[in-house]
A and B are shown apart, each in its own frame.
Chain A
């Protein structure tokens, strides 16, 4: 940490060169490192196979850009179908988890029923279970209840890792809503249900958005469950489809893989660009009191 670090609100005190050294240059380095792999993915997805294997020319630029990989992706594989599956699974799993988490968080944080602290701890502990231990027994269960190789297998199992985080985040957010609001409403004769729907939820929208985005991202990226619970090509999600069907034997189709990764990240990226301020605000709500 540079000792001359200045705090927000006083930036006008800093001279411009100093700001370059303490802010802009480090930030640019960060951006470069964080974004370089993306640049690399983009470049790769437009390169022809011949160009990908040549070691001579400047690798930072595409000499003859080609759309072959995207064409292969959309017409040669079930990619559009995977995309659709991923959207359905992620959206549904996110909504299921959010709904469950709203109730849970409200119950733990605002109702303070008997045993709520222990329940809160238990939900937190749910996070300690690594998917690598769960997927074998889960696969058996998923089969026993007859949803193996369907979207439901994912929609119902994803909440196991989404609910703990969403609940934690919403608990924090609900805590920041003044109790007085609720007490007034109670005196006015409102039921708890009305309070939750009409008062708490509208106030918690940033928290809901940020929990939702987070849950959506985790569902979108999930790999192990989708790999083991889904068997048919038409039911796959994007990460699994790309990995299992674009890698052929000992030949990697770099261009198509990278194109698949890029297109697969777009929806989430667009969502973040719209909601990032809410996301930060939602997190803020969760951590302040």
Chain B
């Protein structure tokens, strides 16, 4: 082996070398524009006009802005409720899919459909399903005599929040379910057999085997899910544009509305930047969740 090839086989040389393509792409197309974006948040930039540094003025205003505060509340509510439902329903669906069922792979493929259709397009389908006058759901309920008027899905603030959350959950459940299904398949059946010989009930098996074994992947999947939900834009933009009366405005949509149609680039960037601390918290939570998993495997590998 030549000296050169030995040099390149050194892990401290080859490692950074292998990192190069990913690092270059990310630094150039992510870190740099991110820096620019954060900087924009400290300026009063408008469309077509380079801004001047104004320090934290944008943030000072946002703190007192009731629409922004509402959007923060909405974002948290949306993320929290949608994530909880995605998790519970996703786990349930994963458990069901893990059973012996007919047409197994067909069912698995079909379940993923909501995840496949471009969000903007499925959002349009939902928009129609939620229409105040043409809703198919309302039509059925009225025909069945359950109610005498059409449901105002997107017109009443709390109902609108619920409706957008349902659409988000609909889209998110398949991803969570398939990931958790993958996790479930790694649990050796022998563990359950041993447990049932020991007389553990089904619930105990779920509580003491399934959940702990799944927890690392749960941490990861839920982090991704939280991230996607927190930064959601397309769904809200198509369904409500943030209405009614800003009841469904998320930070991402408000940022867009102020920055692009509204022209206040600086303020829009400030709103987007304000999302970062929360996202950071979610990521770190998951990262350390991942770290924990080594320890867990050591503990559970009997």
Which of A's residues lie within 8 Å of B, judged by CB? 1, 3-11, 23-24, 26-27, 30-31, 33-35, 37-38, 40-41, 44, 55, 59-60, 96, 99-101, 103-104, 106-108, 111-114, 116, 119, 121, 123-134, 136-138, 140-141, 156-157, 159-160, 163-165, 167-168, 189, 191-193, 217, 220-221, 223-224, 238-239, 242-243, 252, 254, 257-258, 260-261, 264-265, 268-269, 272-273, 276-277, 279-284, 286-289
Contacts and interface: CB of A to CB of B under 8 A. Distances in A.
B40 A284 contact: no
Nearest to A254: B128
Given A8-B189, A128-B227, A100 B22 contact: yes
A35 B15 CA distance: 46
A74 B118 CA distance: 19
Contacts of B5: 191
Contacts, number: 304
Interface residues of B, number: 112
Contacts of B32: 137, 141
B231 A160 contact: no
Interface of B: 1, 5, 8-9, 11-12, 14-23, 25-26, 29-30, 32-34, 36-38, 40, 89, 92-93, 95-101, 105-122, 124-126, 128-129, 133-134, 136, 139, 170, 173-174, 178-179, 181-183, 185-186, 189, 192-193, 196, 201-203, 205-206, 216-217, 220, 224, 227, 230-231, 233-234, 252, 255-256, 259, 265, 268-269, 272-273, 275-276, 279-280, 282-283, 286-287, 293-294, 297
A172 B286 CA distance: 14
B255 A133 contact: yes
Would you list the 7 A-B pairs with minimal beta carbon distance, nearest first? Answer: A113-B15, A283-B182, A133-B272, A261-B121, A137-B36, A107-B18, A137-B33
B14 A111 contact: yes
Given A223-B234, A272-B112, A103 B99 contact: no
5 contacts: A11-B100, A30-B96, A114-B12, A124-B287, A127-B227
A6 B115 CA distance: 28
B101 A111 contact: no
Interface of A is mostly: helix
A6 B16 CA distance: 49
A37 B9 contact: no
Nearest to B39: A137
B22 A104 contact: yes
Contacts of A132: 231, 233, 252, 255-256, 272
